[in-house]
Amino acid sequence: MDYIVYERDESETSNRSGGSLDLHPETGQYALRQAGLFDDFQKYASGEGRDAPEIDRLELRKILLASIPKDKIKWGHALTGAKLGADGKPVLQFANGVVVSGFKLAVGTDGAWSKLRALITPAKPIYVGRSYIESRIQPDNPLYETTVKNMGRGSNVSIGSKQLVISQKQGDGSYRFYFGFDVSENAFQDGSIDLHDIEATRRLLLSTEHFGDWGEQYKEFIRHATDFRSWPLYSLPKEAMNWKSVPGVTLAGDAAHLAVPNGEGVNLAMTDSLELAKKVIEYGTEDLDRAVREYETAMFPRGVDCINEGTMMAEVMFSEDHRAFLQLLNSLISADKGDNS
């Protein structure tokens, strides 16, 4: 079966932002096993002995790219628009001026602000009232050795009253920090918060409104952090998980069921991709409409669960009472022990 991948990155070596993630046994890891890539995953994963070891997103990207023939990827193709042509088939428009059509099936994996989604459903992401300010501590940072000592490998989460700090060690040795708090949707666009002004951003984070009352360790991270960028949190409404199938178009991952980050995003994107591939193989190119309908019918409950879990996770992690997070964590640990008993 012929296919082509249109990728917005300019090249295979484009250094996109990322972070680390857990791949779960029944979703992300299972998809890699089915694709014959699990051994490669184990080479880069950390957290030996854990059911869901972590891997840097850039390393996972390398593994997946290595499995695709180079002539099947069109780099530098950022999708800017999509429509159905006179023949009912999708027409894709890219930022570089290229327009392509004639496909039997277009699969939108173009994330939160998917351009293909509008061909299927009018649903749009809704801001949940919370954002992260992301920053970095690089190996050449004066605080780097202290960060290594305090944060170690993998991920850490610290919860306060309606605030949290997440740290993740990256594959290049750097640390990525996320400072989360309630903020208006337009705060980063209307000039209220200028992340290009490093000192002003540090002062904001160190104010008593945000992390000024936190321990000295966290304030030191802020004083030394660089490369600030915003990450506002959005979610699709769960009610959107019931669209009528449109011939020739479907969605996977965040494009289909964007949720507040809950550890499931990449895992479910890989599950979606695997399940869609199975249906296409089952029915072939002559009955793609049926393949898509059955894929979407099975995908909707996954999407609803993911959106619900993301909403619950955000409510708990940004709660005024940090004990709610500890209770959730204990319940998850107990459930995991029960599954493995």
Mean pLDDT, the chain, integer? 91
Class of domain 5-124+238-317: alpha beta
Length, in residues, of the chain? 341
- Whether residue 172 has pLDDT greater than 80: yes
Model-level pTM greater than 0.75? yes
**Residue 24: which residues within 8 A CB-CB, separation 6 or more?**
51, 52, 263, 264, 267
Q: Rounded to an integer, what distance in angstroms lies between the CA atom of residue 106 and that of residue 118?
A: 13
- Looking at domain 126-235, which CATH architecture does it have? 2-Layer Sandwich (3.30)
DSSP symbols for 48-95 = TT-SS-EEEHHHHHHHHHHTS-GGGEETT--EEEEEE-TTS-EEEEET
pLDDT digits (tens, 9 = 90+) for 128-165: 999 999 999 999 999 999 999 999 887 899 998 899 99
3-state secondary structure of 5: strand
Q: Rounded to an integer, what distance in angstroms lies between the CA atom of residue 328 and that of residue 333?
A: 9
Instruction: Please report where in the chains the tokens 């960060």 appear, as a residue.
Output: 147
Selected residue with higher pLDDT from 258 and 316: 258
Q: Rounded to an integer, what distance in angstroms lies between the CA atom of residue 240 and that of residue 245?
A: 12
45-56 exposure pattern, b = at least 16 Cβ within 10 A, e = fewer? beeeeeebbbbb
pLDDT of amino acid 332: 62
- pLDDT interval class at 49 (50, 70, 90): very low
- Where do the structural domains in the chain lie, given as residue ranges? 5-124+238-317, 126-235
Q: What percent of the chain has pLDDT over 70?
A: 94
pLDDT of amino acid 185: 92
- Whether residue 45 has pLDDT greater than 80: yes
pLDDT of amino acid 108: 98
pLDDT of amino acid 320: 85
